[in-house]
Amino acid sequence: MEEVVVIIGAGPAGLASSACLNRLDIPNVILEREDCYASLWRKKAYDRVKLHLAKQFCELPYMPYPPKLPMFVPKNDFISYLDNYASHFGINPRFHCYVESVYYDKNARRWCIVVRNNKLNTIEVYIAKFLVVATGENSEGLIPKVPGLDGFEGMYMHSSQYANGKDYIGKDVLVVGCGNSGMEIAYDLLYWGAHTSIVARSPVHVISKEIVFLGMCFLKYLPCRFVDFIATTLSKIKFGDTSKYGIQRPTEGPFYIKSKTGRSPTIDVGAVQKIKTGEIQVFPSIANIKGNEITFENGKSKQYDAIIFATGYRSTVLDWLKDGKDLFNENGMPEPRFPNHWKGGNGLYCAGFSRRGLMGISLDARKIATDIGLTWKGASK
């Protein structure tokens, strides 16, 4: 099957890329391994989750959120927004299409995409002039190697498998990771009646959603170091010295860290107060596991019924992309730095790899569509 543009991945990045191409009347097809678009949001996001930034910073191209939605959009409302987005722009991904390999045919000057259609049980080959990788940064959940984890007598999972705390009432649960997912899941578990602990493996900025909103607005007019000073000062006033409770603060500012590493500050949903009251215990990294007993690096130990690893994700691009080393490094992330991360050679692009959330996705999609439009329409004249 010969296509002008093949987009791999039907998450928000794939949808945004297709919408921008459709507006320019550039033929494209999205290949998606799951049975729906935005599967991470539909199937792997816990019930309580909301967008962590105000909705005006999370719009996909050419479609604002309905005015009636709250500033921080809940999961189900965001999924409805994506449904309306796909319908409005006439986006129809091809589902059950598992990409096995992609390589560039230098003679044909085309990308060759080998796909296993799991619904039809067939192998399909797509030929495309342009390839957009939109599988994103969060393709596969990461669980770190922990001594004794294989012998843990309780249940353990990645945070992408957690929906709510209904099954953990009265149980002792350890959440590993104090980023946004970890802190919010710990709070949710406590809400459902679990005895909750959290592992703070590294320093993290804990700030409120209001402080983040102010910071995002200030960044339009002020240097990052000034915005970081304001955000850090306000956070200290609101939360006090969190190091007393086991959560260390990084020496560099939250917005600087976000711009340089892509790591977001942790936006508090109420967990900090529960940590202060001792309802959520904080421990350092795990030293080892024996049976149900977990020993931490400070020498303390405790028995747990379950472990939830909120320890991030990895890109799986290199599992199937055989060419494109000019764009992707050994970790499956863009080699060029932002803002030049979105374009490689031979018509290869990536959307959703800037570590800048939905705002970054929107920027990528617009740039990619414009660039493809100039090349494709110029060549067809």
Confidence of residue 138 (pLDDT cuts 50, 70, 90): confident
Residue 381 has pLDDT above 90, yes or no: no
Model pLDDT, residue 361: 96
Model pLDDT, residue 52: 84
Question: Is the preceding peptide bond at 254 cis, omega within 30 degrees of 0?
Answer: no
Q: Which domains does the chain have, with CATH numbers?
A: 2-139+315-378 (3.50.50.60), 141-309 (3.50.50.60)
The pLDDT mean for the chain works out to 94
CB 353 within 8 A of CB 135: no
Find the helix or strand (DSSP H, E) in which 148 lies: none
Model pLDDT, residue 140: 85
Model pLDDT, residue 38: 94
Model pLDDT, residue 376: 86
| pLDDT tens, residue by residue, 304-349 | 999 999 999 889 999 999 988 889 999 999 999 888 999 999 999 9
What does the alpha-carbon distance between residue 247 and residue 201 come to, in Å, rounded to a whole number?
9
Residue 85 has pLDDT above 70, yes or no: yes
How crowded is the C-beta side of 250, counted as CA atoms within 13 Å? 21
Least confident segment among 49-53, 142-146, 164-168, 175-179? 49-53
Model pLDDT, residue 172: 97
Model pLDDT, residue 255: 93
Q: What is the pTM of this model?
A: 0.90
Place of tokens 């930034």: 53
Query: What are the Cα distances from residue 165, in Å, to 47, 50, 179, 180, 194?
Result: 10, 17, 18, 17, 7
Model pLDDT, residue 137: 86
**Helix, coil or strand: residue 367:** helix
Model pLDDT, residue 260: 85
Q: What is the mean pLDDT of residues 66-81?
A: 95
Confidence of residue 379 (pLDDT cuts 50, 70, 90): low
Model pLDDT, residue 285: 95
| pLDDT tens, residue by residue, 219-252 | 999 999 999 999 999 999 999 999 999 999 999 9
